[in-house]
Structure formats: C-alpha cells, structure tokens
Amino acid sequence: MNLRTLMQVGPTKANELFAKLAETSDGAVKTREKLFAELKGELELHTSLEEQHLFPVLRRNAETKELVADAVRDNRELRAKLAELDALPKNDPAFPEQLKELQKTFRQHARDDKRELLPAVQRALSEEQVQGVAEKMEAGLAEAEQAKQDEAEERRAKARQEREEAEFLARQAELRVEQAAAAERGQKMVEALPREAAQQIAAAARKPVDATAEVARQATRLVTGSANQRPPAPASAPTFAEMFLWPWMGAVQGLQQTGGSGATRGVSGMEEVIPLGEEVLEVTKRTENRGTVRVHRYVVETPVEKQVTLQSERVVVERRKPVEDKATGEILTEVTVEVVETAEVPVINKRARLREEIVVRTEHTQYVETVRDTVRHDEVDIQQPGKTRSGHQLRQVTVER
C-alpha cells in the first residue's frame, strides 16, 4: 500500500462517520456516543501516524520544513475542536453545529494534505524514503486495528463473564427458594405427623370399647327377654341380669356420656341431644375485570394549503434620449453599475398548538342487585307409639316433655 492510499484511509472512514453522526437526532444519545467514539479514534490515529512517521522525515528536509509547521498547527486546531465536542453532551442543541465546524476543519486538513503535503513529499523525498514511511504507517494502522480487535474481544469476554455471573446468582437464588420451600414442607409434615399418630392410636383404642359395648347390648337384650318369662325375684336378691351386666355397666355408661348421637336409650335413662343446624346466606363482594378501554394517540398528516402574496424586483434596462445634450456627470470613462434583483419566497414554519383534550377517568355507580340461592337446615320426624310429630312441632313436643 503506497503513501497516498494510506493518507486517504483515515479521511474516508472519518467522512463516513461524520455522515452517520449528522443523521442522528438529539434523542439518540447512545448512538451518538458510540459513533463519536469511533470518529475520535480515527482522527487521533490519523494525526498520530502523521506526527510519528511522516513529520520527522519532512523536518530534515528544507523544502518541507515549513509545511510540517503548518500541518502541526492544523493538527493542534483539530484536536482542540475535537476535545470541545467530546466534552459537550451529545444531546445538546449545539452539538450538530459544532460537529459541522469539526468536519469543516478536518476537510480542510485533508485537502491540504492531498494538495500540498503529498506533492511536496513526492518531490523532496526519494522513493526509498517514501516507501519506508508508508511501511511504518501501514504497521501503525495494523497495530491500531489489532488493538481495536483486542479491546472488542475483552469487552465481549467481560460481558460474557458478567452474564454468566448473573445467571449463576439467579440460579443460586432459585436454589435457595427451593430449599426454603422444601424445608417448609418438611416442617409441616413433621408437625402433622403427631396429630395423625394420635388419631390412629385413638381409633385403635376405641375398637375394643366399641366391641365391648356391642356385646353388652346383646347380653342385655338376651337377659331382659329371659327375665320377662320368669316370675319376679325377691327385691332383696340381685337378678341374673344385674349379676351378668355388672362388669359392663361402667363401660356402657361411659360410652353413652362421651359417645356420638347414634347411641340409643338404655336402662340408665340418660338423655341424648340431637343438634339441628341450618345454613345462613352470606353475600360478599369481589372485583372482576369487565374489559379494558384503550385510548391510543397517533399522528395523522393532512395536506393543507394557504395563499400568500409575494413580491419580486426585476431590473429593467432601457435606452432613452436625454432631455438636453449637456453632460451632467463623467463621460467617456468606464462605469459598472450593479443592481440586485430580489424576490420573496414563501418560508414554511409550523407551530404546535393544543386543539382539544381527551380526559380518561373512571366513574363509580352504586346499584342494588338481588342475589337468590338456596340454604339447607335440619328437620326431625318424631315417631312414638300412637303419635307422629314432624320437625315443625318440635318445640311443642319439648314443652310436653
């Protein structure tokens, strides 16, 4: 790659970045920062390669020594404007104007290099010197490109490491949540285990008592039937039924005192209570989603037209005969008269104004709604010899007792 080509590599990339930056808006701050960083790197690389490899050779030549001083001054001016633009916020309204100034300065710098510096280098330096400068600049470009690739790879590796660390932390958090849930389930199982064991033990303990009560009831019926067929015994001597049932009476009476509602009346004459229940209708409230009202604002372009009165001035040149032939000014000399023609052109400006407002709100309305359902309640039928009463007569039956 020759020296001329190398000197044009930087300006070509810089002009592309200038064009991309000019197309960005004030809201695209991240894009501007990224493009400006690339532009800054290209401009600094271009000037540093000139100062490191080209200017030292040109300073040793009398013909190009003054050109080097001018080029160094141009580079200093370019760096100063680049530093001002770098310190300016990328969404500042003055950013586009200062970017244009920087682009103008760089274009003049590139134009001077192409029209003055390169021809002087070709005249003052030998072909071997030019080739040596070109090789050094090409090596500098390759080194800078490798540094960019290394930096990009380092950024990718760092981003990959941060992503892996974030995934690891998220997984650790999930594992901690799962462990906490498992511990909570285990605690609930441990707490529920004694209750289940106690229920099983109580059920096992009730089985012999239930069997004993059943045997006692059968024996009572058997002995009672036999006693009805025999003559009454003396009051002072215990009956056979009392002797037979004496070991079981305590267990039977205890079961009747603590047992359920399914026990029947025995010889002890104890009372049984049958609870009667009913359902009560309770109505609560909950909020349901009945739909979503969405109001979307969008922009509609409508063609409009407006008439405006314009004026224009046109220069009219005409020849005429003078009123008298006496000269009143200079004649026989060259005179140039310039008259500017003007014309008004329409300038379109747009101003945003408030046309109307859309108000979105919610309104609360109260209304009464009748809720219908069925409820249940307990009733009883009482069957006695010669009497039948329904549940509606329960209170009267209780009074009679």
Each residue's pLDDT tens digit, 198-248: 566 566 656 655 665 675 676 566 655 544 544 444 444 444 444 444 444
Q: How many helices (H) and strands (E) does the chain have?
A: 9, 4
- In whole angstroms, how far apart are CA 74 and each of 66, 70, 215? 13, 6, 121
d(CA 30, CA 224): 104
- Is the alpha carbon torsion for 140, 145, 149, 152 positive or negative? positive
SS3 243: helix
Quick check: is 52 in a domain?
Answer: yes
Residue 2 clears pLDDT 50, i.e. is over it: yes
What pTM, to 2 d.p., does this model score? 0.39
- Residue pointed to by tokens 């490491």: 161
pLDDT at 246: 47
Task: Assign 262 a pLDDT band (cuts: 50, 70, 90).
Answer: very low
Residue 133 belongs to some domain of the structure: no
pLDDT above 70 (res 267): no
Q: Is residue 360 part of a domain?
A: no
Percent of the chain predicted with pLDDT > 90: 2
Q: What is the Cα–Cα distance from 28 to 232, expressed in whole angstroms?
A: 116
Position of tokens 């001077």?
112
Within a domain: 27: yes
Q: How confident is the model at residue 395 (pLDDT cuts 50, 70, 90)?
A: very low
Calculate the alpha carbon distances from 252 to 136, 209, 221, 263 in Å. Answer: 116, 9, 14, 10
DSSP string computed for 137-195: HHHHHHHHHHHHHHHHHHHHHHHHHHHHHHHHHHHHHHHHHHHHHHHHHHHHHHHHHHH
**Domain membership flag for residue 65:** yes
Banded pLDDT at 71 (limits 50, 70, 90): confident
Confidence of residue 396 (pLDDT cuts 50, 70, 90): very low
Q: Kind and range of the H or E element at 37?
A: helix 29-49
Could you tell me what percent of the chain has a pLDDT over 70?
Answer: 77
What does the pLDDT average to over 308-325? 85
Q: Look at residue 256 and tell me whether its pLDDT is greater than 90.
A: no
159 part of a folded domain? no
Instruction: Give me the residue label for tokens 């409508």.
Output: 302
Residue 223 lies in a domain: no
Q: How far, in Å, CA of 154 to CA of 139, rounded?
A: 22
> Is 80 within a domain?
yes
Mean pLDDT of the chain: 77
> What value does the mean pLDDT take over residues 393-399?
44
pLDDT value, residue 352? 87
Give the count of domains, the chain: 1
Give the structural domain span for 11.
Answer: 3-125
CA of 313: how far to CAs of 120, 164, 317, 318, in Å? Answer: 51, 74, 13, 16
**So what's the pLDDT on residue 399?**
38
Domain of 57, CATH number, reads 1.20.120.520
Mean pLDDT of 28-38: 88
Which of 64-73, 253-262, 276-285, 353-362 ranks highest by mean pLDDT?
Answer: 276-285
Where residue 257 falls among pLDDT bands split at 50, 70, 90? Answer: very low
| pLDDT computed for residue 259 by the predictor | 44
Q: Distance (Å, rounded) from C-alpha 95 to C-alpha 101? A: 10
**Count of CA atoms in the C-beta half-sphere (13 A) of 204:** 6
pLDDT at 42 over 90: no
